[in-house]
Structures are given as C-alpha cells and as structure tokens.
Chains A and B, each alone.
Chain A
Amino acid sequence: MTQDIGARNLVRVFLGVWSALGLFYAFLMFRSLLWSPSFYIDHTHYESQRPLAQPAALALQAEAKNKFARDPGVRRGRELFRREGCALCHGLGGKKGILSKNYVKDRVPDLATLAERLLLYEPEDVEAVLPALAAGQSLDKVDKLDLPNPAPVVAKYADARKVILDGNPGGKKDEKGVQPIDMPAWKDTLTEPDINRIIAYLLTLYPWEEG
C-alpha cells in the first residue's frame, strides 16, 4: 500500500467537516435544552384566565356618568382636545392646568368648569346648548335656545371662542417679570365647527353634584 497523501488529506477534510457539523449540532441541542421559549411558558392556564377589559364596557361606564359622552361630536371634541395639544397646558381631562411662571393665577386655567364660566349653572342649561355645539353649530347662529336668559350665555360663549381662535397673552403677576405662557391662536389649526365641538366636550366635564 503506497502512502497516497492526496487521499489521506481528503479523508481528513471529510472527517473535519463532519465533526464540525456534529459539534455545531450538539451546541444547538444543548442550547435548546437550556432555554426555549416553550420551557419558559410551561403551561397556558386557559381556564384561570381573567376576562379582558372590554373597551365598549368602559365607554358605557363613561356614558352612565354623562349621557353626552358617546355623542360623536363630543368624542371628536375630546380627540381634538388631546391630539392638537390643548391637554398639554390644560390637563388631559381639563382638570388641572400646568404651572406658568409669573402668571396671575400661577396655574393655567382648568377647563372642566367652563360650564360655570358660560353662566350655565344647571345640567339642564348645558343640555340646552350642547346638541347644537356638538353638531358644530355656533351658538350665535342658533335661532332659539331653551334657556331662561340666552343673551349673556351667547356673549360669554363668543368670548371663549374668540380666545381660542385668536389666542390671549397670559396676564403678568409682576409687571417687570417674564411673560408667562400665552394661550396660542388656533385659527390656522382648528375650524370653527371643531372649536364648537371642543367646547361641547368641555361642557360635559363639569363635575355636577349627583343629586
């Protein structure tokens, strides 16, 4: 038998490749035995799972609190209030304004009490103006409002709408101090019907005493 170097090297290469593959396979086996996602989750307790919260059920709860919460116009107002950035300064539920340096009232006005500022002192008063606003109508364009004294309410509403459209500089506490954060003008961002819907949403936030 002659020593055939070529043949011997071929055998070496062959064995080398196979043992490398074998080692790699062993590593994979080892790794999969050590950790596999299906080991981590040994069993899925289908029977003991708690039911998921249902978005519809939550919406119904909200509705129970305020019968206008599900009105499409009011929901649009709420969405705009959050998405356009009103909530940045006035708070997500309009409940707590942010701190503003050198502002007369320290905190940016909260808007959950807007109803009161529009002179709507009873839930019935709000109900009289809300459907029109939620439909995007301006109160000064509505012929007849079911209110004892509509004129001042419409005037206050027009003031509020003007502040939203044109903005309003924040009042200084100390005349020589810095200018506090201003109410920005929204006339380039929001249309008048949308502003009416936002006002409608804010009117639904008033914390009426349950009676």
Chain B
Amino acid sequence: MPKTLAILVLVGVTAIGGWFVVSAWGGGSVQQPVAYNHKVHIDAGMECAACHTGAEEGTHAGIPTTDKCALCHKVDRPYPKTPKDLAFYLKANKEIPWRQLHRTRRHVYFSHQRHVALAGIDCEKCHGDVKKKTTPFDRAAFPDRQAGMNLCVDCHRKEKVTTDCMACHR
C-alpha cells in the first residue's frame, strides 16, 4: 500500500514538473479563432497602424474589431475571399474572440505611442517580420519570447534613453 502511494506521488510530481518544463519551453501555443493572414493584407497595401489604431496614438496597439473586417469582407462576395471561420463571426455579427499574446507584466509601463510615433521605431524591431506572416499569432513573437527586460534595456542604453527602474516600473 505505501509502495503504490509512493509511486502515485512520484508520477504526480513528474507530471506537474513536466508540465512546467513544457510550458516554459515554448510549448503552450494557442489557437486563434480565425486563420488570419497578415501577409495578404500588407501586400494589398494596408498599413499596420490602420488596423492597430492605437499603435501611433495610444498606449495599447489594440486588435481591430470585427466591423473593420466587414468593411471589405462580405459574406456573399467572392472577393476578398472570406473563409468560413471569418464568415461565421461576420454573419452572427459577433466580435472575434482574439487571444492577445503580447503583453508585458502588470508592473511594467509600456507605451506604443512613445516608441512608434515619437521615437519612430519600426514595428519589426520588437515584433519581428509580421509582414510575411501567413498564419495567425500562436505565441508572442518578441525576440526573447517575452518582453524581457533585456530587450528594453539594451535598446535604451544604445539610444541613451533612461534606464531608471522607475521609468518602466510604475
């Protein structure tokens, strides 16, 4: 009896430990509700900040609402091609429940306007080559998987911007 208990405990501990390791190692990818494709929209000439309207003027870049998609995508038209998953939300007139993946910790203050509009930093510097992305985001694509402090501080040093703890941690 104690032996089976010990084995059970061992299995339990290994499972929990394994889960931690896997989730820390780049597993845990999420499925977005619609197979969104950045590339086709950028190739057609759309600009990042036209969809992510907060990127130049706000703290949060934001993800466009469904009524923006509906400006171009009509369920009954062949062009632009509207896949079934998108048509479902357009017909039901429901918001697409996008999963926001890029976020900093709660104790960090980050403003897109400061970096994009005022410092003129390209989205690519932090988010990688979104222009060529044909699948929706399934994980945060920051260079270090997370908006690690190094990402911020390395650039701030180079650009001679503040590295005062209190500038970012509020």
Verify that A and B bind, or say they do not. yes
Q: Which residues of A contact B (CB under 8 A)?
A: 37-38, 40-41, 44-46, 48-50, 52-53, 55, 58, 79, 82-83, 85, 87-89, 91-92, 96-102, 107, 178-181, 184
Residues of B within 8 A of A102 (CB): 79
Residues of B within 8 A of A107 (CB): 45
Closest 8 CB pairs between A and B? A98-B45, A178-B79, A53-B118, A87-B50, A50-B160, A88-B50, A98-B44, A99-B44
The digit string for B131-170, where 1 denotes a CB below 8 A from any CB of A, is: 0000000000000000001100100000111111100000
Cβ contact of A98, chosen from B46, B49, B78, cutoff 8 A: B46
* Complex Cα gap A119–B6 (Å): 87
Chain B contact residue count (CB 8 A cutoff): 32
Interface status of B80 (Cβ within 8 A of chain A):
yes
The digit string for B94-119, where 1 denotes a CB below 8 A from any CB of A, is: 00000000000000000000100111
Q: Which residues of B contact A (CB under 8 A)?
A: 43-47, 49-51, 53, 57, 67-68, 71-72, 77-80, 114, 117-119, 149-150, 153, 159-165
Say whether A49 contacts B161, CB under 8 Å. Answer: yes
Residue of A nearest to B74 (CB): A182
Residue of B nearest to A81 (CB): B50
Say whether B165 contacts A41, CB under 8 Å. Answer: yes
Q: Assuming A89-B72, A181-B80, is B51 touching A50 (CB within 8 A)?
A: no
Residues of B within 8 A of A89 (CB): 46, 71-72
Minimum Cβ distance to chain A for residue B115 (Å):
10
* Complex Cα gap A180–B79 (Å): 7
Say whether B71 contacts A92, CB under 8 Å. Answer: no
* Complex Cα gap A107–B43 (Å): 12
Say whether A184 contacts B79, CB under 8 Å. Answer: no
Residues of B within 8 A of A44 (CB): 162-164
Residues of A within 8 A of B159 (CB): 50
Minimum Cβ distance to chain A for residue B76 (Å):
10
Say whether A53 contacts B119, CB under 8 Å. Answer: yes
Residues of A within 8 A of B149 (CB): 37, 40
* Complex Cα gap A83–B49 (Å): 10
Q: Which of B79, B117, B149, B160 has the most CB of A within 10 A?
A: B79
Q: Which of A53, A99, A181 has the most CB of B within 10 A?
A: A181
Residues of A within 8 A of B50 (CB): 82, 85, 87-88, 91-92
Residues of A within 8 A of B71 (CB): 85, 88-89, 184
Residues of A within 8 A of B78 (CB): 178-179
Q: Assuming A50-B159, A178-B79, is B51 touching A88 (CB within 8 A)?
A: yes
Minimum Cβ distance to chain A for residue B82 (Å):
12
Say whether A91 contacts B45, CB under 8 Å. Answer: yes
* Complex Cα gap A41–B169 (Å): 14
Cβ contact of A49, chosen from B79, B150, B160, cutoff 8 A: B160
Minimum Cβ distance to chain B for residue A91 (Å):
7
Residue of A nearest to B160 (CB): A50
Residue of B nearest to A177 (CB): B79
* Complex Cα gap A172–B118 (Å): 41
* Complex Cα gap A50–B157 (Å): 11
Residues of A within 8 A of B114 (CB): 52
* Complex Cα gap A134–B117 (Å): 25
* Complex Cα gap A178–B68 (Å): 21
Minimum Cβ distance to chain A for residue B62 (Å):
10
